[in-house]
Amino acid sequence: MPEGDTIFRAARTLHLALAGRTVTRFETVLPDLAEVDFDAPLRGRRIERVESHGKWCLIAFSGDLVLATHMRMHGSWHLYRPRERWRRPHREMRLLIGTENYVAVAFNVPVAELLNTRTLARHKILNALGPDLLAGDFDPPAVVPRLRASGAPDVASALLDQGIMAGIGNVFKSEILFLCGTDPFAPIVSLTDAELERLVTTARKLLALNTRSPQSSSDVFYSGSRRTTGMMSPRARLWVYDRAGKPCRKCGTAIRFARQGPGARGTYWCPSCQAEGSRE
C-alpha cells in the first residue's frame, strides 16, 4: 500500500521524466478534473515540478495550476513511453498526462484535484498536514511536542495522524513500534521525550531507506519490495507486519494482530519484544 516512501519515489521519478516538458495530451474520466481542463486546458502548459508531501503527490504546471493526488490504498502512478503497452487495464485509468517522451498514467486514484494558488492555500487537508518525514529540513525533536498535544488514544494512532507528521502508513507504523520495542497500545503520556524522539527518528530512517534510486527504468514505482529488516530474502522483508501467528524474528514469540484507534486500523506486534519495560 502506498505510504510516504512510495509517493516520494513516484514524485521523484515523475519529476525526472516530466519537469520542463510541455503537456501534449491530457485525459481523465474524473468529472471535476475534466471541467477544469475544459475551462483552462492543461495541454500546452509546462510541467514545472513534481513533489511529494507525505502521501500526496503534487504536480505543478505553468499558469498557476497544481494537480494534487492521493493514492489511498490502491492507487498508483505509472510511467510509459508513447505507444508502450500499459501493465494495467484501461478501465482503471483515472487520468493521463502526456509529453513528447513520456506518458504518466494514474490508475485507480481515488483523490485528484486541480488547484490554483488561492484554492491550494485554502485546502483544508493539505494545509493540515504535519512536517514531511522525508523533507530535507525535517526536525525530529520538533515533532515530540506535536505528539504530546495530539490527543491520540495511543501511540500507534498518533503515528498514523498525518497532522502530526506526514508519511507513515499502516506498514511502517507496526514496523517502527517493533524496532523501538514500544507497546502499540501505550498512551503518549507513558512515553518519555527520548522514547518519542526515537520513534520519530526511526520513522524517518525507515522511510528514507525505502526511497533509494530505482535500479531499473521500471514503469511501476511501487513494486511491493519495501524492506525494514535489512534482509535480502523476499520472505523476510518485514519484522511484524502481516505476520500474525508467525514467530517473532527476534525472540520466537507468536506475532499478534488487533484493530485499534480511529478507523480500526490493523496493528501487528510482538507481545514479548514490545511489552512494557522492554524498551531500551
Residue 79: φ, ψ to 5°: -125, 130
DSSP code string of 10-28: HHHHHHHHHTTPBP-EEEE
Please say whether the beta carbons of 116 and 66 come within 8 A. yes
Question: Of 31, 48, 51, 55, which one is the catalytic site residue?
Answer: 55
Those residues with Cβ within 8 angstroms of residue 234's Cβ, 6 or more apart along the chain or in another chain: 225
Active site residue 140: no
Please say whether the beta carbons of 117 and 97 come within 8 A. no
Cell of 236: 523476510
CA distance 207 to 52: 13
In this structure, are strands 256-260 and 265-269 parallel, antiparallel, or unpaired? antiparallel
Please say whether the beta carbons of 278 and 272 come within 8 A. yes
Question: Of 2, 131, 140, 184, which one is the catalytic site residue?
Answer: 2
Q: Helix, strand, or coil here: 161?
A: coil
Active site residue 195: no
Active site residue 153: no
Catalytic residue positions, numbered: 2-3, 55
